[in-house]
């Protein structure tokens, strides 16, 4: 299972929110490149980079941060947050993103999202399926849609999607453990999905459990910044798996 640390960006700084609420913002580092290099120094190969300003603005904002990290590290970066147009994707890929994540767009404008899968290939496009009570949430989690989570994932898998990041919003940033039951349900009902678990990871012991269930990757954020999981633990896990 891939270990994918997260860097969330507001005003060019590395922050974390709780349950997607911008009012809960904590700045952890003024320099996201420093954080990315620290991850790389501990054997991490992947990075989940989220443009929270972009999620609010509905277009790419922090592409310079993406470019800075992509140019100065060898990290394989998936980038998301407010990507709504072909131009946004062009900028993201030109600035060094290896993959992009689309969430709200897949709900609100399925034809554009389907065209991205066709144009850029399923390996480049991740479906962001973030949910509250198994309903997909959109617009930086500010809105709940009427889309049921599992049928939503199944629909896009038929359209060619391979990778799905799923965050249970009620768990995000709360350090109370991930939604094991929800992930088990998704993996059971969509057996070929490359599921990336995100949200709520609070202890190292949860990581092997997610791997055992069949998650393809896990995104880890606040538990690293709050020193609940050490980089040494992650380094050893990466070395031995």
Give the domain CATH number at 161.
3.20.20.70
Residues of the chain with pLDDT under 70: 139-144, 171-175
A 10 A CB-CB count for 143 gives 12
Instruction: Specify whether the CB–CB gap between 112 and 98 falls below 8 A.
Output: no
Of the candidates 51, 78, 88, 130, the residue annotated as catalytic is 130
Per-residue pLDDT at 72? 98
Q: Which tokens go with 160?
A: 């060619």
Sheet holding 135-138, edge to edge: 131-132, 135-138, 143-148
Which H or E element spans position 146? strand 143-148
pLDDT digits (tens, 9 = 90+) for 163-214: 999 988 776 666 678 999 999 999 999 989 999 999 889 999 999 999 999 9
Read off the pTM.
0.94
Per-residue pLDDT at 177? 87
Count structural domains, the chain: 1
130 is catalytic: yes
Q: How far apart (Å, rounded) are the C-alpha atoms in residues 231 and 71?
A: 23
Per-residue pLDDT at 173? 60
Instruction: Specify whether the CB–CB gap between 196 and 216 falls below 8 A.
Output: yes
Q: How far apart (Å, rounded) are the C-alpha atoms in residues 199 and 48?
A: 12
Q: Which domain holds residue 79?
A: 2-240
8 is catalytic: yes
C-alpha radius of gyration, the chain, whole number: 16
Strands 135-138 and 131-132: antiparallel
Looking at the chain, list the stretches that DSSP marks H as alpha helix, in order from N- to C-terminal side. 32-41, 52-57, 63-72, 86-94, 104-108, 110-120, 149-158, 180-189, 206-213, 222-225, 231-240
């Amino acid at each position: 299972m891939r270990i994918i640390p997260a860097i969330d960006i507001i005003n060019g700084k590395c922050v974390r929110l709780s349950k997607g609420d911008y009012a809960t913002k904590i700045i952890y580092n003024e320099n996201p490149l420093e954080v990315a290099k620290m991850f790389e120094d501990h054997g991490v190969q992947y990075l989940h980079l989220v443009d929270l300003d972009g999620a609010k603005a509905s277009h790419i904002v922090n592409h310079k941060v993406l470019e800075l990290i992509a140019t100065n590290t060898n990290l394989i970066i998936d980038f998301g947050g407010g990507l709504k147009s072909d131009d946004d994707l062009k900028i993201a890929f030109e600035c060094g993103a290896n993959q992009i994540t689309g969430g709200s767009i897949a709900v609100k404008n399925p034809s554009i999202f389907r065209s991205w899968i066709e144009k850029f290939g399923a390996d480049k496009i991740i479906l962001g399926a973030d949910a509250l009570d198994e309903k997909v949430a959109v617009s930086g989690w500010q809105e709940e849609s009427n889309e049921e989570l599992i049928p939503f994932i199944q629909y896009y898998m038929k359209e060619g999607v391979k990778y799905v990041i799923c965050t249970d919003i009620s768990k995000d940033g709360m350090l109370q453990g991930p939604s094991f039951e929800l992930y088990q349900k998704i993996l059971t009902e969509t057996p070929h999905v490359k599921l990336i678990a995100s949200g709520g990871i609070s202890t190292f012991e949860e990581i092997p459990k997610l791997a055992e269930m069949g998650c393809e990757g896990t995104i880890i954020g606040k538990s690293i910044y709050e020193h609940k999981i050490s980089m040494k633990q992650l380094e050893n896990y990466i070395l031995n798996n």
